[in-house]
């Protein structure tokens, strides 16, 4: 195994070993990322709903005439 690969595995082992000491920080990071993903999914769902609502409205026989400005 190469030296770089051994160092990578060693760093992973050290980081996983120290995880219990920083459990609250790790948990808050995981929850923060989950919250950001949930908000993004909510906005995307809302945009899809608005788009679907606008697709079903209107009639080709109705025109809106806007007056010119001053």
Reported as a single tens digit per residue, the pLDDT across 5-63 is 999 999 999 988 888 888 899 899 999 999 999 999 999 999 999 998 888 787 878 88
Cα separation, 11 vs 44, whole angstroms = 38
Cα separation, 56 vs 52, whole angstroms = 7
What is the predicted pLDDT for the residue at 20?
Answer: 83
19 Cβ neighbours under 8 A, 6+ residues apart: 26
Cα separation, 22 vs 30, whole angstroms = 12
Pair 19, 26: CB distance under 8 Å: yes
pTM: predicted TM-score of the whole model, two decimal places: 0.57
26 Cβ neighbours under 8 A, 6+ residues apart: 19
């Amino acid at each position: 195994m190469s030296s770089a690969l051994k160092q990578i595995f060693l760093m992973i082992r050290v980081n996983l070993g120290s995880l219990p000491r920083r459990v609250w920080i790790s948990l808050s990071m995981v929850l923060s990322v989950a919250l950001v993903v949930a908000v993004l999914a909510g906005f995307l769902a809302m945009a899809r709903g608005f788009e679907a609502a606008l697709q079903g409205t209107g009639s080709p026989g109705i025109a809106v005439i806007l007056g010119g400005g001053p």
